[in-house]
Amino acid sequence: MVKDFPLAPLEKILKKAGARRVSKEALIELKSALLDITNKVALEAIKLSHHAKRVTIKREDIKLAAGEK
C-alpha cells in the first residue's frame, strides 16, 4: 500500500472542479477515500488477472475492476 502522497494534487483536482477553498481535513479525507477505492480496484484487478491465468495485471484488468467498458 502507498505510504504517503502529497495533498497538493488533490487540492488542485478539487479547485479545478470548482471548489474555492479546501480545508486540510477535507484533503485528508479525500486521500483516505481514494486509497480505499484504489485498494478495492487493485484487489479486483488481481483476481481478474489470476482468473485469466496471468501474473501480469493489464490495463484491461484495471478497467474491468473499475467498472469501465
CB-based burial of residue 5 (10 Å sphere; 0-12 exposed, 13-18 middle, 19+ buried)?
exposed
25's CB contacts (< 8 A; 6+ apart) are none
φ/ψ bin of 53: left (φ > 0), alpha (ψ from -120 to 50), beta (otherwise): left
Mean pLDDT of 33-54: 96
* pLDDT at residue 2 is higher than 70: no
Mean pLDDT of 5-21: 96
Domains and CATH numbers, the chain: 33-69 (1.10.20.10)
Cell of 10: 488533490
Cell of 65: 475492476
Task: Tell me how far apart the alpha carbons of residues 37 and 33 are, in angstroms, rounded to a whole number.
Answer: 6
